Amino acid sequence: MRAGSYQLERRQRGLSRGVHACEALCAPPGWRAGSPGMKDARALATSWLVAERWWEATMERPGPSGHPFSAKTASFQDAVRTLNTLQTNASYLEQVKRQRGDPQTQLEAMELFLARSGLQLEDLDQLNIIHVTGTKGKGSTCAFTERILRSYGLKTGFFSSPHLVQVRERIRINGQPISPELFTNHFWRLYHRLQETKDGSSCVSMPAYFRFLTLMAFHIFLQEKVDLAVVEVGIGGAYDCTNIIRKPVVCGVSSLGLDHTSLLGDTVEKIAWQKGGIFKRGVPAFTVLQPDGPLAVLRDRAQQISCPLYLCPPLEALEEGGPPLTLGLEGEHQRSNAALALQLARCWLQQKDHQGIGELKASQPSLQWQLPLAPVFQPTSHMQHGLRDTEWPGRTQVLRRGPLTWYLDGAHTVSSVQACVRWFRQALRGRDPPDGGPEVRVLLFNSTGDRDPAALLKLLQPCQFHYAVFCPNLTEVSPTGNEDQQNFTVTLDQVLLRCLTHQQHWSRLDKEQASPNLWNSPGPEPGGPASLLLAPCLPHPVSTSSLVFSCISHALQWISQGRDPVFQPPSPPRGLLAHPVAGSGASVLREAAAIHVLVTGSLHLVGGVLKLLEPSLSQ
């Protein structure tokens, strides 16, 4: 038997077991095999087999070694497909986690890859880098910082992760993703260079996905001769591959919390130690107000290496005596990110002897952990315009489409989901009520990695959704045209079963909330959840109806019911409304005067939704 046939036979046996497992998970209590309800479960499980076979097709596709590409003839999608082969296989990733050795060797390996690519550490010093880490808000902080400095007429580079729709979003010049042509040319140049410099004695001949893109960003920024590069840390800081940067101009740490705990540690203090790893001797660094424990860790890390660390004053202090600052990103939590960005931008300008960096105001010294307070200054017009004009898709983003309003926020930690809920509820309070007909609230959710989905879903309960929809971060069942969305670091079995687990968590939380003894509060507070109740003709149900779909496209088709003027896919697949909840819910959604959809839990989920709702992002 050929190896491929053997693997396929093993996979088919696993799929058969998967169908039975899915039936067990989908079936409500008391349903038995052969009962009518089990047909729905089998239909759902069988629909997953289509996606599973798609996964097999993508995994069995010949790689670059079988079909070498020429940089002159290869397309952008050829480059993306080859890049995807550098993603870590899921089983191997688990093995690495169990057998992780000295993290310092990861940085040494990155330095070797840099040398093999034709660059030295000294070359990176030319990029005038602003290095930013944090648990939540680091991407938004980077976006604010880049836009402020671009408003001064500077040529900017910006490296961020993850991407939402296309991988080239991760590398930006003057705020715009690099072109497909530039991406393709640089990809193959770097790929072939690394192929040519393989060392037979080395156990790893090619850098993994994120390392490759980091190297590529450095090469592009140098060739494009940017005035500065804003570089967002991938995960952590101390051992992140971006931390081969030796001489940044300034560093920043946004709000800290629990995330990537299997890699960074299970307390905020341990995570703070990792984040403080980007501090460099003599390089100024800034952070926002943190809980006492992690702030003390950051202070100690900075003192150990003689890094001057400053605490950012709140944005209100900078607004005092001047006009209120308008932010291009919605949400109260963005004010903290904007305050950090202003300090990073001003410090960079000051270090580079630029004029017009804002007049200093009198301020009181900080007594917080004996950490000096960053300057309180009057933001310049360039700074004000930069904050106002900042765009960062997928973060507190609103799309209004006829009766549908899509609220997109890639929050995926406890603290960021709390901020997301505050933003969503505030947005609903400020809405204009529709003329006639009910309003419906829908949650579209997914969560990945080592995050606690039950904790995140519990935070979303006060939003009083009528429907909770769960799906994996797969835009379509078919892989055609979705190379940018592929993720080989998890198996399809894992992501689909996780969606069912999310549904189970939601159902349990619904039952707990329905209990009269659950909440001690005798009634809703003024301006609280009661102010978000929908029109009387559609009262909030005691239990939220929930559904699981096999991909994002099917979920959006059910939610929108053809009423989004932009998202107009072909006729829905057979069986999309077979489930009783899907059928009855479709009627409600078709008759609703307004539908408010919150998409959250994962930036990758938000990216897949944007790919379908904003086709121009795929151009």
What is the CA 523 to chain-centroid distance, rounded? 36
Amino acid at 280: K
CB 126 within 8 A of CB 268: no
* Rounded distance between C-alpha atoms, residue 477 and residue 480, angstroms: 9
Residue 385 counted as an annotated binding residue: no
* Rounded distance between C-alpha atoms, residue 609 and residue 598, angstroms: 11
* Rounded distance between C-alpha atoms, residue 605 and residue 474, angstroms: 8
Q: What are phi and psi of 400, to 5 degrees?
A: -105, 120
Terminal CA-CA length for the chain: 44
Pairing state between β 404-408 and 397-401: antiparallel
Residue 17 counted as an annotated binding residue: no
Residue 201 counted as an annotated binding residue: no
At 342 the three-state DSSP class reads: helix
Helices assigned H by DSSP within 67-223: 76-84, 90-98, 104-116, 121-124, 138-150, 180-196, 209-223
H/E element, 251: strand 250-253
* Rounded distance between C-alpha atoms, residue 162 and residue 486, angstroms: 12
Give me 75's structure tokens: 């397309």
**Adjacent-strand bridge partners of 251:** 131, 285
- Residue among 81, 282, 291 nearest 187 (CA): 81
* Rounded distance between C-alpha atoms, residue 570 and residue 477, angstroms: 14
* Rounded distance between C-alpha atoms, residue 340 and residue 398, angstroms: 24
Residue 571 counted as an annotated binding residue: no
At 388 the three-state DSSP class reads: helix
Residue 395 counted as an annotated binding residue: yes
Pairing state between β 285-287 and 250-253: parallel
Give me 403's structure tokens: 């009766």
* Rounded distance between C-alpha atoms, residue 72 and residue 181, angstroms: 10
* Rounded distance between C-alpha atoms, residue 163 and residue 159, angstroms: 10
* Rounded distance between C-alpha atoms, residue 398 and residue 395, angstroms: 9
- Residue among 103, 104, 112, 66 nearest 85 (CA): 66
- Residue among 328, 324, 323, 325 nearest 389 (CA): 328
* Rounded distance between C-alpha atoms, residue 4 and residue 249, angstroms: 52
CB 284 within 8 A of CB 347: yes
Q: What are phi and psi of 365, to 5 degrees?
A: -65, 150
DSSP string, 553-569: HHHHHHHHTT--SS---
* Rounded distance between C-alpha atoms, residue 265 and residue 269, angstroms: 8
* Rounded distance between C-alpha atoms, residue 119 and residue 214, angstroms: 12
CB 182 within 8 A of CB 220: yes
* Rounded distance between C-alpha atoms, residue 209 and residue 215, angstroms: 10
- Extract the annotated binding site for Mg(2+): 161, 232, 260
- Extract the annotated binding site: 161, 232, 260, 395, 409
- Extract the annotated binding site for ATP: 395, 409
